[in-house]
A and B are shown apart, each in its own frame.
Chain A
Amino acid sequence: MTTAQLTLKNPLWPYRLIPGRIGYELRGYARQGDTVFFTFLFPVLMYSLFAVIFSGEISPSTALGEPPVAGQPVISMATYYLPGLVAAGMLLSGLQNLAIDIAHDKHGGRLKLLAATPMSPITYLAGKLGQVLVTAVGQLVVLLAVARFGFGAELPTDPQLWLRFTWVFFGGLMASAMLGIALSAVPRSSRSASAVVIPIVLVLQFLSGVYIPNFQLPAAVQAVAGFFPLAWLAQGMRSVFLPDGFAAVESGGSWNLPAVALVMAAWLVAGALVARFTFRWVRRNA
């Protein structure tokens, strides 16, 4: 066996290629004008829109349509909308981005081209996950900066809250990315990829308290949204960005973080399992 073959036989070989692959994916991402707009900048634009349109302030009791109560925390609508759009960004960077991107790779013949090389699917998928991670963090930084400096939104200062933010953000992002890989199996052509994926993501955002405040959604809608991950991601993020008094506005009357973690983990596992069984370089029986 030659040294070249030994290099390939090394089980670490697929992992060594990952950093370079992430760089390649990021370059491809940045050069696609439409993804930069609809995935990367979209939450920032929507946030700016809501922050401009819905000026004013709310407290837990005014949110529920009751008279203001002295001593309750009062926040601007710009602060209120921030956690919802952070959650929306996680869904866009993970699910929407990967579902469309991988469907394009599949129907554009790129997966078959890769199948013809010694590259492992591990390298390919890790490249995609790395791309999601980097772009999602970049998007978050832009969104927080615009919220803080453009619209005076308040950001938490308590390190405990940032710790909570970390697990909700990265856990939720990975669940969203796994669901994206799973959903990429659905579109039947490159052209239909956006048409299949974007409406799902858009409807979820309306149902899950991203565009329409959660306290204005009918209980039935909230119940339906509760089956999907976005509502829980938004709830987890509200627990980070909103004062504790707003927990009373949630449908269950509390932040219910154990449920947030559980739903997130369940979707992550489900997405990973579906991805495991649907993702193929090539369909050999086609």
Chain B
Amino acid sequence: MRKGIFLLTLMVITFSNFSFSDNHLFSLKISGGMSRVYDGGDLKKWFNGEKAYFDWLGKQQNYSTKSNYPFKQDEPEGNFEVIFKPLNYLGVSVGLGYTRRIWSSSSEVYYNHGGNLGYDKIELSSKNELNVFPVTLSLIFSVPYKFLRANLFAGGGYYYANLKFNMESKYFWQNFPDRENYKHHYTSNLTTHSEGAGFHGGIGLEVKIISHLSFSIDAFFRNVKLGDIKGELKWNEILEWSGYKKENSGSEKNQTLWFGSFKVDGNQFERAIFSGEKPSLFENARPFNFNLNGTFIKAGIVLSF
């Protein structure tokens, strides 16, 4: 693939008779690539805090744990822009993008009761999904040279983000006293929305292929902070053991995602949780914030009119 792109570029450079000396007033740009989020702010702290907690818990008497909280930095992102260039070296673009980011995690907690009681187990899993729709406004400063054009971007954007936090806890203890095969299954789904402004800047290179068509490669950095994550929590719970089964479900509106730290036996761990009110257990509890700070490298085509 990379070889193909290289050869195509080489051919264009070698044989192209088109240049950017003729300015086109409007252009449409469709591009896609990989965007990288450096640490996500509280997102990464949350994951690290959870992992640290379960690692610690696994060292306590009778406990053993497994946990996996990967933070995926890179995800694909697409972008569509309308570019207005009144001058050959200066223009503005309005863009609409989309990126979807998924972080999945899991952990298991075992507690050995000893003797005939065996052990009980909690299985936790979560799938957190982030869908972002950036609307950007960029100022473009271009330096054309024959069929090549170097672009500098700078601008701001407004980011609409929908977040889904889907979590599940399965508890099981086969030898629960008086309650054979005791199970407790709990799921929660929090659907939230957040939006906020950011700014970005970057560089790009365009290669004109034919008169109205060029190929672009861009790389830019952006700084976007999102917070005030509010939404509705829906939960379902099934409690079951021999001869008994009870299911409950409900929903709670105006839930906020909070971030803070709690202490256990002198150890401090960071965590995020949903609550309608500020969680009293947490030290320094505050609303959860995350960011999309990072880079976006993309390639695309530009149609000029």
Q: Do A and B come from one complex?
A: no
Residues of B within 8 A of A (CB): none
Residues of A within 8 A of B (CB): none
